[in-house]
């Protein structure tokens, strides 16, 4: 337990910040999951797949800008997502 008023205030701030960061991270994970599912599902149109990836990239950028995740973490995850998207595009064009 905190021993002085400054430590008590710091604890209150950390609780709020932790809750906020958790919600931002959750939103990022949700958008990435939606994008990966759109990429993996062949019946989904290419436009909606690109839109899902765009939304995920936007969430990653927003989280990095807010300092919830590190900018290199966001860049790495965006890179992996785009790699999956491009691989799916190539696989889709070679079968047609």
For domain 5-95, the CATH architecture is: Up-down Bundle (1.20)
Residue environment code for 7-38, b if the CB has 16+ CB neighbours within 10 A, otherwise e:
eeeeeeeeeeeeeeeeebeeebeebbebbbeb
Task: Note the pLDDT tens digit of each residue in 42-88.
Answer: 888 899 999 999 999 999 999 999 999 999 999 999 999 999 999 99
Domain boundaries, the chain: 5-95
| DSSP assigned state of 67 | T
pTM, two decimal places: 0.86
pLDDT of residue 96 exceeding 80, the answer is: no
Question: What is the mean predicted confidence (pLDDT) over 35-47?
Answer: 91
pLDDT at 94: 55
Asked if 55 and 41 count as a contact pair (C-beta separation under 8 A), the reply is no
pLDDT at 91: 83
């Amino acid at each position: 337990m905190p021993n002085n008023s400054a430590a008590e205030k710091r604890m209150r701030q950390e609780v709020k910040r932790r809750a906020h960061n958790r919600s931002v991270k959750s939103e990022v994970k949700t958008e990435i999951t939606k994008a990966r599912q759109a990429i993996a599902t062949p019946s989904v149109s290419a436009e909606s797949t690109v839109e899902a990836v765009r939304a995920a990239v936007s969430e990653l950028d927003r989280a990095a800008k807010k300092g919830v995740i590190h900018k290199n973490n966001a860049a790495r995850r965006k890179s992996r997502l785009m790699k999956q998207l491009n691989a799916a595009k190539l696989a889709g064009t070679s079968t047609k």
